[in-house]
Structure 1
Amino acid sequence: MSDTALQDGLAADSKGAEVRDYIRLLKPRVMSLVVFSGFAGLVLAPGDLHPVLAAVAVLCIAVGSGAAGAINMWYDRDIDAVMTRTRGRPIPRGRIAADDALAFGTVLAAGSVFLMALAVNFMAAGILAAAILFYVFVYTMWLKRSTPQNIVIGGAAGAFPPMIGWAAVTGGISVESLVLFSLIFFWTPPHFWALALYRRGDYAEAGVPMLPVVAGVRATKLQMLIYTILLLPLAVAPYWLGIAGPLYGAAAAVLGALFTLSAVAVWFDATDKSAKRMFGYSIFYLFALFGAMMLDAGAGIAG
């Protein structure tokens, strides 16, 4: 993209924007995983929540996630215009003005937190606010462009949803909800580094210090393997804590072993094929993990 085209895109007036452009600002693919893990927190938490309030809580988690994504796109509009993977986003394409995207995200963020506090409880609203602020200010504005450990620390933002769901039901934080948080926190680095491996040229061109760009491919593959090994016992922890039963424990062990094997395949593969496969499997892994947890708990096997 030329400098002139980039400037034109960033100076858009949003007059030609369609509903789908605003939906894209919300990062719907990311939102789907956020909503699923948040819903899992609701299902797994001890106690009951009225179905209407549960639906409101899930809606707030979804809107809060989308709001953070929109603000992220506003701030990252310069590097999004450079990277092949992101240059089709609404702001670089000139579909939505940067200021409009910021306003859109800010209103949604404030609205989601306010509604959660008003309809559910202040603890869930507080964690939701912390997740949005962490993603915007700590990850997007600080870590992403300053350190190769950006996704390690910044991954905490995406790990909050099950804690939010748990707090929506219980009104508090517990060891169990922290374990659910940890599952996503330790899953995020190998998941995102798999993407960064086969997109490292994009990140290098945009000047983003992702681990493969700064430390090299071999060091990144080693870190991915370490994190998947750490996830093996952690993923089984919900069984030992009584959140889910033996069905989940067996599923977690198998899913974790396959995740580790995918990291081993990446280690020995001189091409990017295994990294692409691992990235795809990592998404399935987390969906399957929380899905098995909910199925097991719903079947009455736990405890």
Structure 2
Amino acid sequence: MLVTDLRHFLDLPDEVPGPARRLAEQLYDLVRAATAGDTGTAWVSALPCRRRPGNRRCTGRMLVLRAATEGPIASECNTCGDAGRISDWEGSPFDLRRAQPTEIGPVHHLRIPDEVATTLRGIMLLDTDCERVAFRAYVDGDDTILPVPDTGLEELIGYVAADANHEPNRRRQQRLDAAFTVLSEAAENPHSSPSALVPAGDSTGAVPPRPGPAVPGLPELDIARVQRWCGARVPEHARHEVRLECEIAARHLTIVERRAPWCDDVGTEWTSMPIARLRYTKATKTWSLYWRDRNLRFHTYDRLPPSPHLETLLTELDRDPTCMFWG
């Protein structure tokens, strides 16, 4: 059994050997899965085993168990029996526990291809709720099942679409397109789940344009206000080098800084970096401001309470008294 302290695998230097880095990534994913699931219940996650007995990849999946709210996380491959125990994961960037009990409503259990589950886990810009969905995927027999709350499917689709639209790697973009197709079909008919991967594109290989995510409940006037604010913050003479854009999802707006390639070696694609997130709560008709950490995860900006006046949040974002947004 491999017993590890997660603190020893945080902030690894660039020169860490490949095997050690792959082990760290496996530990990160195990913590995400265990904290996305329920306490006290062992379940078979969609995470593959990392072992390669006889130079052949083990086909097993990792069973995870978080016996208590805090304390060691146990894992074991359901095929080769490779087992481990992870301690001191609490409060790490990979801890997906909810801060307090939350009513999430009905949950749809969607049968998805394993490739889609892998793609969802690889999206870097997921918020904690969607990241929790991606890592809660489990295996039932030969099927990979994604449990999605009734209110979370459209938001997850929005993240997939946004990531695909900014992905320069053609092969990964195709995987994101496939995930988008599967999830979109599930959204159109939530009472039946797709049983096979639907190819993206037509016979020529062209991928059809992805529609923007649905935005039920987001005030159109506020969306336009944020878009105008983004446009006004960058002087016109600098817009060939840097832009500020507003990406729209089902329940929030993400302010993204995009920069032109600084040399020919990096290609022609503009880079994207999320700056802040504005989340809308329909029940109270208020907006909340979130800041991004270095692991691209968003956290509540606690210096400013939720407000029905979006201008208040934009003013605070513009001032940035803590240098959390613009540095």
Superposition TM-score, scaled by structure 2 size:
0.33
Greater strand percent: which structure?
A: 2
Greater RCO (CA < 8 Å, at least 6 residues apart)? 1
Flag the structure with larger Rg.
2
